[in-house]
Chains A and B, each alone.
Chain A
């Protein structure tokens, strides 16, 4: 069965600190990988996605993620966080031919202190 695991439930950082959120998945086939962000009171927004090609993917707002196939990982990074990055972050995966059906990780709450 497909599953997604996010290692950190709650991360607290000061502004300008670097961020890395872990994501590992379990799936026996070709996968597409996503990171979504949910700001307080708002809907899910796509940060970045990986379908194929360069395993280092750049997204919006300075975020990037690296797909490491051998480790079944898709960690999210940002060199310098801002207070406005405070939000819930979700890693998600879907398999080939599954269209928009997503399996989500548990989510990581990021709190950035000004």
Chain B
């Protein structure tokens, strides 16, 4: 199978602090990982694409200095929400692709971030 794990599944943080979310591919090497944000009753919005060993590519309107993405290895990508504010509260989901022309991506279980 192809399993993607996110950690933590839920996190509550104080306004102004930073939060790191991990996305791991457990049984395959993910050359590319994607980060999405899902608002309540809304669809998933692609935030950025991260490739192992290179800078992430951010979608239009996503602040790269606020949402720091690091894809340090073929099995791990991290999303750090810096100086979090209540409006950053959301459901963040990662997916991972095996690359090499593989079209399917596998999703993590998501992280519910609440900023108080």
Contact = CB atoms under 8 A, between A and B. Distances in A.
Contacts of B95: 44, 100, 102
B103 A107 contact: no
A42 B95 CA distance: 14
Contact of B107 (A44, A105, A107): A44
Contacts of B105: 99-102
Contacts of A90: 43-44
A105 B49 CA distance: 19
A34 B45 CA distance: 16
B43 A104 contact: yes
Nearest to A36: B107
Interface residues of A, number: 21
B45 to A, nearest CB: 8
Given A43-B109, A49-B104, A99-B103, A105 B97 contact: no
A46 interface: yes
Interface string B28-45: 000010101000001111
Interface of A: 32, 34, 36, 42-46, 49, 51, 90, 94, 99-107
